[in-house]
Structures are given as structure tokens and as C-alpha cells.
Structure 1
């Protein structure tokens, strides 16, 4: 029984690690303004439904791409480079 509990705990820890938000390390004084960032991704064809700054200091959008497909993308706030997407 202890082996099963250890296995379950190990799997839960691995799942939580995979689901964690990425971390962005750019200093805040180098970040692109939120308005400029939103304009940039809109010019790239994304429609932003929700925008937020994550606990890991990344910009995150939920919305749709040019084809209307739902997206969730994390960006480095200084460079507007995607760091993770789903």
C-alpha cells in the first residue's frame, strides 16, 4: 500500500510541475507597456479575450489566432517573445 501511495504522490508532483506557469526574468523597467503589447499581438492576428500578468512575471493571453483557434500563450514581457503556448 505504501508503494502505491508513493507512486500516486510522485505522479501528482510531476503533473503539478508540468502545469506550472513559465517564469520570465526580464526586469520590469524593460517590459513593453501592456497597451503596446496588446497592439502588437493584435497586429499579428490574435484576438485577446483575456490578458494578465502571471505569478511568474510573464504576459499571458487567452483568445484566438488568425484562424479562430483558441490559444493560451505566455510571453516574455520585455521582448513579446512567446515562452509557452497551448
Structure 2
């Protein structure tokens, strides 16, 4: 299954550090954070309930695009 593709230019992306801080404020614990080949943010970690998550995000809006 292919991961989502994000097309916004990098100049408009939310900075990685600020993005991670926002997610952590929502209760996520991030074990791995990366930019995918499709130019989206992706995290591996746990949600506030401690459940393992893999989530792709739009790097501009911060909207979750897909969760596995």
C-alpha cells in the first residue's frame, strides 16, 4: 500500500521541531519522525492511550492523512 503524497512546497511546511512539539502536547510519544518519499511527515510512536501508531501528516496543515 502506497503512502500518501503531499505536494505543498517546503517553504510552507511547519518546522519539524514545532510540529513534533504540537503532537507531543496532544499526548503522542514519538519514537521515529521522518519525511516520506511522498513529502509528508510520518511518525511512529504511541498515542495518549499508549497504543502504537503510524501516522502520515500533511506538513502544512498538520492534518492526519492516514493512520496504520
TM over 0.5: yes
Q: Distance in 2 between matches of 1:79 and 1:26?
A: 10
Secondary structure, counterpart of 1:50 in structure 2: strand
Match of 1:53 among 35, 47, 51: 35
Between structures 1 and 2, the one with greater strand share: 2
Normalised TM-score (structure 2):
0.97
Is there any run of 5+ residues in structure 2 with no aligned partner, and where?
none
Residue 68 (structure 1) aligned with residue 30 (structure 2):
no
Residue 23 (structure 1) aligned with residue 5 (structure 2):
yes
Q: Which runs of 4+ in 1 moved over 6 A?
A: none
Q: CA deviation at 1:27?
A: 1.3
Between structures 1 and 2, the one with greater helix share: 1
Is there any run of 5+ residues in structure 1 with no aligned partner, and where?
1-18
Aligned residues: 68
Q: Distance in 1 between matches of 2:46 and 2:22?
A: 14
Q: Distance in 2 between matches of 1:35 and 1:66?
A: 19
- Larger radius of gyration, structure 1 or 2? 1
Q: Distance in 1 between matches of 2:61 and 2:9?
A: 11
